[in-house]
Chains A and B, each alone.
Chain A
Amino acid sequence: MGEVQKGLFSVIQKLKGSTEQELRIVLLGLDNAGKTTLLKKLASEDVNTITPTQGFNIKSVASNGMKLNVWDIGGQRKIRPFWKKYLENTDLLIYVIDSADKKRFEETGQELSELIEEENLKGVPVLIFANKQDLVSAAPASEIAEGLNLHTYRDREWQIQACSALSGEGVQDGMNWICNNIVNKKK
C-alpha cells in the first residue's frame, strides 16, 4: 500500500467526524463454535433463530465510551480462506471455541495458530472464548488453554475466558478484559 493511500485513509477517518474512539474486533473460530450467537448476545439480540453464517455479520457495540465494531465471519471450511481479507486494521481478535467439540480441538488449534501468524494480526491481542460451558461435556478453559499452547504466546496479550454465549455467562467478563487491557491502552 502506497503513501498516498495511507494518507487518504486517515483523511477519510477524520471525515467521519466521530469524537468517540472505535475499535475493530474480528470474531473468528470454527463453524458451530457460537460466533454469531456471541455477537448477537453482545448486541442484546435474540439468539434463538441463528442459522449457519454463509457470509459475515457486523454489529456495533458501545462499551466504556468506545464503539466496538465487531465483525463475525462465517467459520465453515469453505469460508475460512476469506478470513484474511478481514484482518486489516484489527485491534483485537476474539477466537471462539466449542468447548464440547473435543473431536475438533486439533482443527481449531491449527486454525488459530495459522491466524496468529498473519501479518495483519501481528501483536494484536487475542481473547479466546471457551464457549458452550453450559454443556456438561464441555472441557474447562484451563484444559483448552493448555491444548492451544497459549502460554507460549510472547508477542501479544491474550486471555482465555470460559463462557456460554447462549446464557450469556462469562461473556461480560471477557468484555471487561477487553476494556481493561485494550481500550485503556489505546486511549
Chain B
Amino acid sequence: MAEDSDWVVESIAEYLGSPAWVVPLTDFMENKCTVFDDEDENKLTYTEIHQQYKELVEKLLENYMQEVGINEEQLLEACTSPLAKSKALQNVFQPVLATEDFEVFKSLMVQKNVELQLQALRVIQERNGTLPECLTDGADMISELEQQELRILKEVLKRSKEEYEQDMARRQLSEDEGGSTSNSSTERMAFDSTERQDTVPGQASEKRAESTPSVCNASRMAEEKNIKSAGKAGDNMKHGTNKVGTQPTAKLLPGRSGADAKLLAPVRAPVRGSEPAADPREKSSTEAAEAWLEEARREAGISRPFTELSAAQQEQLQQRAHYLRQQRDRLLAMKREQRDKLSTSEESPVALAPRTVEISEEEKRQLQKRKHLAEKLKEEVIKKS
C-alpha cells in the first residue's frame, strides 16, 4: 500500500519536473506575470489569471493521470503519504498548490515578474557591454539623492495631513534658506498668492493640483521682487510643472534642486488624503485621478506611491519602464523561441539576441538609470518577501 502511493507520488513529482509540464506552465506565467506587482491590494485581473491558471493545471494533471493510469483515489492516497509531505516534494508541488492558494499563486507570479525584469536588464547589459564601475557610481549617487528626497517627502506628507501645510512650507523654506528672514518673507508671499488662487483655502485636493501652473506664475511675480530667493522658489515650481532645467538660477544651487522640488509636495499632498468631508462629486474625481496615477505608477514598475514623486521623475520613470517592457517583450519572444527548439539549441539568450545596437553616451546613461530602477525593484521585493 505504502509502496503503491510512493510510486504515484514519485511519478507525479517527476512529471512536475518534465518539459511536458514545465514548458506550458512557464509559458503561461511569463506571459501573464507583467501585471503582478508587490502591492498589498490585488487587482481584479489577478483573479481572472488565477482562474486560467487553475484550468491549465487541471488540464495538464488530468491528461497526465489518464496517460499513466492513475485515478483520483490513488492520487488522494499518494498525496496524504509521508513522502508527498516531505520538504523536498512540497516545493515541487508548489505550482499545484498555487491553484488553490491565491497567495501562493500571487507570490509565484510576482517573483516571475521580477526575474524577467532582471533577466531583461542583464541581457541589455551584456549586449551593450556597459561598464560596471560607472554603473555603481551612478547608482550610489542616485540612491543617495533619492533617499534624501524620500525623507523630505515623508515629512512633508505627514505634516500636510495634519493640515499644517502653510506653516510647514514656511518653516521648510526658511530652513533651506539658512534662516534668512528677508528671503523667506518673499517666499511666504509666493505661497500666500498660491493660497488666494485656490478660491477656498484647504478645500479640494485636485483643485490644488490644478493650481500648480498658477503657482508658477506667483513665483515668477515674486521673482521680479527678489531675484535671488524667488529664483529658488521658481526653481521649485518649475520642477513640479515639469520644466526642469529651463530656469537659469537653478544652477546657482546645484544639488539642492532635488530637495527643493519636493517642496511642491504640500500642494499635491492632499490628493492622497481625500478628506471625507469633500462632497461626493469631488471625491469621485479625486478617486479617478488617483486611479490614473496608480495605474501609471504600476506601469513604471515602482513600489513607491507614484504621487510622492515629482512630475519630472514620474515621466522619467514611465519612460524607463516603457523601455524595459520593450526589452522584456523581446526576451519573452526569445525564450519562447528557445523552448520551441528545446532539444537542439543550447545557445544563450545573448547569442540569440540581435546585435545591431550601436549605443551612444546618452543611451548608456539611460541604461544606468534603468538598471538602478530594476535593482531597487528587486531589492524591495526581496526585502518584503
Given contacts A16-B101, A85-B47, contact A57 B80 (CB under 8 A): no
- The answer to whether A54 touches B41, judged by C-beta atoms less than 8 angstroms apart, is yes
- The answer to whether B76 touches A54, judged by C-beta atoms less than 8 angstroms apart, is no
Partner of A51, one of B101, B102, B290: B290
Give chain B residues whose Cβ lies under 8 Å from the Cβ of A13: 100
Residue of A55, A60, A82 with most partner-chain B CB within 10 A = A55
Task: Please tell me if B103 contacts chain A, counting CB pairs below 8 Å.
Answer: yes
Residue of B72, B85, B103, B294 with most partner-chain A CB within 10 A = B72
Residues from 28 to 79 in B contacting A, C-beta threshold 8 Å:
40-44, 46-47, 51, 58, 61-62, 72, 75-76, 79
Give chain A residues whose Cβ lies under 8 Å from the Cβ of B189: none
Task: Please tell me if A79 contacts chain B, counting CB pairs below 8 Å.
Answer: yes
- The answer to whether A58 touches B274, judged by C-beta atoms less than 8 angstroms apart, is no
Task: Please tell me if B93 contacts chain A, counting CB pairs below 8 Å.
Answer: yes
- The answer to whether B79 touches A14, judged by C-beta atoms less than 8 angstroms apart, is yes
- The answer to whether B42 touches A56, judged by C-beta atoms less than 8 angstroms apart, is yes
Residue interface bits B79-90, CB-to-A below 8 A is 1, else 0: 110001100001
Partner of A9, one of B46, B84, B100: B100
Task: Please tell me if B291 contacts chain A, counting CB pairs below 8 Å.
Answer: yes
Given contacts A8-B62, A16-B97, A52-B287, contact A58 B102 (CB under 8 A): yes
Give chain A residues whose Cβ lies under 8 Å from the Cβ of B72: 4, 7-8, 11
Give chain A residues whose Cβ lies under 8 Å from the Cβ of B62: 4, 8
Residue of B61, B79, B290 with most partner-chain A CB within 10 A = B79
Complex-state Cα separation, A56 to B106, whole angstroms: 13
Complex-state Cα separation, A58 to B41, whole angstroms: 8
Task: Please tell me if A15 contacts chain B, counting CB pairs below 8 Å.
Answer: yes
Tally chain B residues at the interface, Cβ within 8 Å.
33
Give chain A residues whose Cβ lies under 8 Å from the Cβ of B101: 16
Partner of A11, one of B79, B102, B103: B79
- The answer to whether B76 touches A51, judged by C-beta atoms less than 8 angstroms apart, is no
Give the interface size class of chain A: 20 to 34
Task: Please tell me if A65 contacts chain B, counting CB pairs below 8 Å.
Answer: no
Closest to B61 in A: A8
Complex-state Cα separation, A137 to B58, whole angstroms: 52
- The answer to whether B76 touches A7, judged by C-beta atoms less than 8 angstroms apart, is yes
Task: Please tell me if B272 contacts chain A, counting CB pairs below 8 Å.
Answer: yes
- The answer to whether A51 touches B79, judged by C-beta atoms less than 8 angstroms apart, is no
Complex-state Cα separation, A12 to B22, whole angstroms: 18
Complex-state Cα separation, A56 to B93, whole angstroms: 26
Partner of A12, one of B42, B96, B294: B96
Task: Please tell me if A53 contacts chain B, counting CB pairs below 8 Å.
Answer: yes
- The answer to whether B100 touches A16, judged by C-beta atoms less than 8 angstroms apart, is yes
- The answer to whether B272 touches A54, judged by C-beta atoms less than 8 angstroms apart, is no
B175 to chain A, nearest CB (A): 26
Task: Please tell me if A105 contacts chain B, counting CB pairs below 8 Å.
Answer: no
Complex-state Cα separation, A13 to B290, whole angstroms: 39
A22 to chain B, nearest CB (A): 10
- The answer to whether A54 touches B43, judged by C-beta atoms less than 8 angstroms apart, is yes
Give chain B residues whose Cβ lies under 8 Å from the Cβ of A85: 47, 51
Complex-state Cα separation, A76 to B100, whole angstroms: 27
Given contacts A11-B72, A11-B75, A54-B294, contact A82 B272 (CB under 8 A): no
Task: Please tell me if B99 contacts chain A, counting CB pairs below 8 Å.
Answer: yes
Partner of B76, one of A14, A17, A57: A14
Give chain A residues whose Cβ lies under 8 Å from the Cβ of B42: 55-58
Closest to A36 in B: B41
Complex-state Cα separation, A82 to B45, whole angstroms: 10
Give chain B residues whose Cβ lies under 8 Å from the Cβ of A8: 58, 61-62, 72
- The answer to whether A56 touches B97, judged by C-beta atoms less than 8 angstroms apart, is no
Residues from 1 to 57 in A contacting B, C-beta threshold 8 Å:
4-5, 7-17, 51-57
Closest to A103 in B: B280
Residues from 83 to 112 in A contacting B, C-beta threshold 8 Å:
85-86
Partner of B47, one of A10, A60, A86: A86
Give chain A residues whose Cβ lies under 8 Å from the Cβ of B290: 51-52
- The answer to whether B40 touches A57, judged by C-beta atoms less than 8 angstroms apart, is yes
Residue of B42, B51, B76, B294 with most partner-chain A CB within 10 A = B42
B278 to chain A, nearest CB (A): 12
- The answer to whether A55 touches B44, judged by C-beta atoms less than 8 angstroms apart, is yes
Complex-state Cα separation, A86 to B48, whole angstroms: 11
Give chain A residues whose Cβ lies under 8 Å from the Cβ of B84: 15
Give chain B residues whose Cβ lies under 8 Å from the Cβ of A4: 58, 62, 72
Partner of B44, one of A10, A14, A56, A60: A56
14 extra A-B contacts, CB within 8 A, seeds A12-B100, A51-B272, A58-B103 = A4-B58, A4-B62, A4-B72, A5-B58, A8-B58, A12-B97, A15-B84, A15-B96, A54-B291, A55-B44, A55-B46, A57-B40, A85-B47, A86-B47
Q: Can you list 16 contacts pairing A with B, beta carbon distance less than 8 Å?
A: A4-B62, A7-B75, A9-B100, A12-B97, A12-B100, A13-B100, A17-B85, A54-B43, A54-B44, A55-B41, A56-B42, A56-B44, A57-B42, A58-B102, A82-B44, A85-B47
